[in-house]
Amino acid sequence: MSLTNALPADVAKAAKLASHTLATLPTSARNDALTAIHSALSQSKDEILAANARDLELAKKAAENGELSLSIVSRLDLGKKRKWEDMLKGILDVRDLEDPVGKVTLRTKLDDGLNLEMVSCPIGVLLIIFEARPEVIANIASLAVKSGNAAILKGGKESTESFVAISKVISAALESTAVPNTAIQLVTTRDVIPQLLDLDQYVDLVIPRGSNELVRYIKSSTKIPVLGHADGLCSIYLEHTADPDMAVRVIVDSKTSYPAACNSVETLLVEEAALETLLPPVADALLAKGVSLRCDASSKSSLTAKLSAHSSAILQDAEDSDFDTEHLSLVLAIKTVSSNTEAISHINTHGSHHTDAILTSSAPLAEQFMSSIDSAGVFWNTSTRMADGMRFGFGTEVGISTNKIHARGPVGLEGLMIYKYKIRGQGHITVEYGEGEGQKSFKHEKLEL
Amino acid sequence: MSLTNALPADVAKAAKLASHTLATLPTSARNDALTAIHSALSQSKDEILAANARDLELAKKAAENGELSLSIVSRLDLGKKRKWEDMLKGILDVRDLEDPVGKVTLRTKLDDGLNLEMVSCPIGVLLIIFEARPEVIANIASLAVKSGNAAILKGGKESTESFVAISKVISAALESTAVPNTAIQLVTTRDVIPQLLDLDQYVDLVIPRGSNELVRYIKSSTKIPVLGHADGLCSIYLEHTADPDMAVRVIVDSKTSYPAACNSVETLLVEEAALETLLPPVADALLAKGVSLRCDASSKSSLTAKLSAHSSAILQDAEDSDFDTEHLSLVLAIKTVSSNTEAISHINTHGSHHTDAILTSSAPLAEQFMSSIDSAGVFWNTSTRMADGMRFGFGTEVGISTNKIHARGPVGLEGLMIYKYKIRGQGHITVEYGEGEGQKSFKHEKLEL
């Protein structure tokens, strides 16, 4: 890894060149580099934590002046709890994942002696822009090396000292490996981002990791494909045949287990027929957890009749905008719908195509919901918060994508891969194939992988 | 299919709505629609050819005035040779392909009663912009219906009458099927294109089919992903151990079998050690086919010494720009390189990442070439013109992509698909999983597909 003040075009060009070397390295060379990074960081704990302490001190001052939130200060602290250990363990976890490079996913005998293979390979150059948490840099560098992609990294300015310290250690560690130093480059000034976002001849994919605002800014500022999601407006449709206890459990988990997460539920659609039976206990449980309920007229009048005076007094009226808002806090918008069809139409129109769930005892309704909802995750009788690469068993998570091409939903290492077609022939030429007299036909036999 | 003069935003919104219906239709419904389109077109041959004749007449006049090339006029003629029959047969060919929708590509038991599935589904709304050939509209409409994608089509203005006639017939045919009429919409005026390219909230993928200029314009004018390639600057590296006869065959096929194709070779890199042995017979064969050879100094001096006076007199000097140009004609740039490494570096820098080939008897060199070249197709001892969806056995070709994400190389129906994750649970919630006391672990068992 190199820490660079070079011109953005030179950074990107160097990354592209490094990507060509990286793409040809065997599994062992990439894994060895990860081992080297891991031990170098282990040995440099003191100097990195000292750099981190300098970041923390500046951040605390900024917080005292009201320029930075305390939650950001807290996320900066690399010495906190098991953060340092988790960061180091994460490098080895990524190293030990299955190699995504060089997988043959199609093998066809086009003709005798003429074989086609579709082989996975790295995308090339990733531009990864992330916010405060300093441990992210080690995770991202690991994912890039493991997947054979070169990466240009830009972290949040609050962690600059930590990033620079980590970057120097990683850079020195790579010197002794087959991975080129320019495979991972750290840029430290924000003003280079617009220029990097313009370099689509060198940069193949942008991955923003941070706030909705960051992702929205990136998506609107580049022609390079962006992997990620700006919004996570997830909905749950509560159908009247759902098991009542299950409904309470799943909705409470979806709303309250981590309200700031993108996979938390923001809108509850209640079937009219469930207003008086299923909704009241759900509402009671949510209110007990401190959730503000913003209800449409039908759900409010139904709840007002069923809940205690105290509970019904704190119900709020939903405005139209509540059904288009990702609150990211203990707020839930509740809307009454007449049917599965209306629920589907509402979600496809107002949702963010991230993750949506149906709670029902009816398999046909659930299947209809799952095939009709145009979202990355469509769940039946489980929490929207299940949408997560680790929970899916991917071993890591590059991000959650709401894109309609390439990678959708929680993205593992496969999201950093593309493929190429190799043909091995023996002088075969195209003019010999065709429907004319004496011409050959392709055999197109599927071969075993 | 509807022929529309509606506002672009309304067209795109209607397409999005139709895509949600289309995505839920079973295989049989989509196939039945293709059968209906086929028979309706068969029955309407006379009126469509009459419309086509009106296009032809206008085009011929334009050609007489020098406003249109004769080759465009010739491509307009739907009555020519087997064009009409091939167009109709193409619809049934697409119908009979394997259904790309609903394929389960991953199935994981997350926990007892909690199963994850990754299921292929249509991307959503395609915007397909193509040039003159009127039969393309039937092919594209078939691909969209088969893959469950809604499509907005814009064809070249020279074929307007033909398109409108075909569109009306397809529209009437869809009335009797489950495919919504707005699933395929034809727009006829060019001025709506910039507006459609802006509607990234509705349009998921743009597919331009036509000249480099068209593709370049589209790519530079939209944030919507574009599937395709602007350039096809393919190279062949002739290494000195290549079989001489094979070299002649493959290079002649790559250059002359269809010089205007994107997969034709434009640059021949010759290893220094092959200049006096392999290059002369290759050059002789190419000159005999009328190919202009633009040589660097080394290859020219070597050829001048070896070829007849007549042949060497017609050799041309290459300029630097020749190695960055897709000639699309009987012109070949020839450059001398010292090694595989130099050939790789030249191709990765000057090529268009489309298709490149090495001719050699050395398997290690060929494997090194194929893993190092950053192109969609990397071939050993076969013609670059093998890069083609039909030759690959895909049954159809949506286009050839030089993108680094989603789909690369010749793209079949799979390129029009994405996936969603379905989870079927029994009230599972996330807070029960973790490393704390009494918490559960995910099982992550791979299940059979």
Q: In the predicted model, what is the mean pLDDT of residues A75-79?
A: 90
What tens digit of pLDDT does each residue of A351-368 get?
Answer: 999 999 999 999 999 999
8 Å CB contact of A382 and B431 = no
DSSP designation for A433: B
Strands A2-4 vs A184-187: parallel, antiparallel or unpaired: parallel
8 Å CB contact of B246 and A383 = no
Q: What is the pLDDT of residue B3?
A: 66
CATH number of the domain within which A266 lies: 3.40.309.10
The residue of B236, B429, B432, B435 whose CB has the most chain A CBs within 10 angstroms, and thus the best one to mutate to test that interface, is B429
B430 is a domain residue: no
Torsion of CA B246, B229, A208, B430, to 10 degrees: -80
ipTM exceeds 0.90: yes
Residues A238 and A215 in one domain: no
Residues A70 and A12 in one domain: yes
What tens digit of pLDDT does each residue of A152-203 get?
Answer: 999 888 999 999 999 999 999 999 999 999 999 999 888 899 999 999 999 9
Q: What is the pLDDT of residue A136?
A: 87
Q: In the predicted model, what is the mean pLDDT of residues B124-143?
A: 90
Distance CA(A74)–CA(A367), nearest Å, equals 43
* Residue B229 clears pLDDT 90, i.e. is over it: no
Q: What is the mean pLDDT of chain A?
A: 95
B424 is a domain residue: no
Residues of B in contact with A344 (CB under 8 A): 20
What tens digit of pLDDT does each residue of A380-415 get?
Answer: 999 999 999 999 999 989 999 999 999 999 999 999
Residues of B in contact with A23 (CB under 8 A): 371-372, 374
Residues A307 and A337 in one domain: yes
By C-alpha distance, which of A310, A304, A157, A127 is closest to A222? Answer: A127
pLDDT band at B212 (very low <50, low <70, confident <90, very high): confident
The sign of the dihedral angle between the CA atoms of B209, B213, B216, B218 is negative
* Residue A3 clears pLDDT 70, i.e. is over it: no
Residues A134 and A93 in one domain: yes
Residues A51 and A198 in one domain: yes
B184 is a domain residue: yes
Q: Provide the 10 A C-beta neighbour count for residue B391.
A: 22
Residues of B in contact with A381 (CB under 8 A): 424-428
Q: In the predicted model, what is the mean pLDDT of residues B291-306?
A: 97
Q: What is the pLDDT of residue B142?
A: 95
Q: What is the pLDDT of residue A120?
A: 98
What tens digit of pLDDT does each residue of B49-70 get?
Answer: 999 999 999 999 999 998 888 8
Residues B254 and B136 in one domain: no
CATH number of the domain within which A90 lies: 3.40.605.10
Distance CA(B272)–CA(A215), nearest Å, equals 50
Q: What is the pLDDT of residue A132?
A: 67
Residues A267 and A324 in one domain: yes
Q: What is the pLDDT of residue B132?
A: 67
8 Å CB contact of A381 and B424 = yes
Residue of A nearest to B222 (CA): A223
Task: For residue B25, give how far its alpha carbon lies from the nearest alpha carbon of chain A (Å).
Answer: 9
Q: Which of B204, B429, B444 sits opposite A383 (nearest CB)?
A: B429
8 Å CB contact of B123 and A404 = yes
* Residue B43 clears pLDDT 70, i.e. is over it: yes
Residues of B in contact with A20 (CB under 8 A): 344, 348, 372, 374
**Among B386, B411, B427, where does a domain finish?**
B386
A186 is a domain residue: yes
**Residue showing tokens 């960061």:** A87
Residues of B in contact with A383 (CB under 8 A): 428-430
Q: What is the pLDDT of residue B130?
A: 87
pTM: 0.95
Name, of A230-234, B130-134, B169-173, B370-374, the range with top average pLDDT.
Answer: B370-374
Residues B297 and B352 in one domain: yes
Residues B197 and B248 in one domain: no
Residues of A in contact with B419 (CB under 8 A): 408-409
Task: For residue A282, give how far its alpha carbon lies from the nearest alpha carbon of chain B (Å).
Answer: 14
Q: Which of A110, A123, A425 sits opposite B393 (nearest CB)?
A: A110
Q: Do the beta carbons of residue A29 and residue A179 sit within 8 Å?
A: yes
Q: What is the mean pLDDT of chain B?
A: 95
Residues A240 and A349 in one domain: yes
A120 is a domain residue: yes
Supply the range of the domain harboring residue A334: 234-386
Output b/e per residue, B392-417; b: 16+ Cβ within 10 A: bbbebbbbbbbbbbbbbbbbbbebbb
B421 is a domain residue: no
Residue of A nearest to B387 (CA): A421
What tens digit of pLDDT does each residue of A291-342 get?
Answer: 999 999 999 999 999 999 999 999 999 999 999 999 999 999 999 999 999 9
> Which of these ranges, A73-87, A248-262, B304-318, has the smallest mean pLDDT?
A73-87
B318 is a domain residue: yes
Residues of A in contact with B387 (CB under 8 A): 421
**Among A336, A366, A386, where does a domain finish?**
A386
The residue of A430, A432, A435, A442 whose CB has the most chain B CBs within 10 angstroms, and thus the best one to mutate to test that interface, is A430
Residues B185 and B71 in one domain: yes
Q: In the predicted model, what is the mean pLDDT of residues A362-381?
A: 98
**Among A188, A219, A250, where does a domain finish?**
A219
What tens digit of pLDDT does each residue of A211-261 get?
Answer: 888 999 999 899 999 998 888 999 999 999 999 999 999 999 999 999 999
- Give me the number of domains chain A comprises: 2
* Residue B4 clears pLDDT 80, i.e. is over it: no
Output b/e per residue, A9-25; b: 16+ Cβ within 10 A: eebbbbbbbbbbbbbbb
* Residue B249 clears pLDDT 90, i.e. is over it: yes
Q: In the predicted model, what is the mean pLDDT of residues B362-381?
A: 98
Q: What is the pLDDT of residue A72?
A: 82
Query: Which residues 6+ apart lie within 8 Å of B353 measured at CB?
Result: B374, B375, B376, B402
Residues A195 and A260 in one domain: no
B366 is a domain residue: yes
* Residue B259 clears pLDDT 90, i.e. is over it: yes
Which residues in A223-354 belong to E strands, given as ranges? 234-238, 265-271, 292-295, 316-317, 331-337
Q: What is the pLDDT of residue B191?
A: 87
For chain B, the maximum distance between any two Cα atoms, rounded to a whole number of angstroms, is 89
% of chain B residues with pLDDT over 70: 99
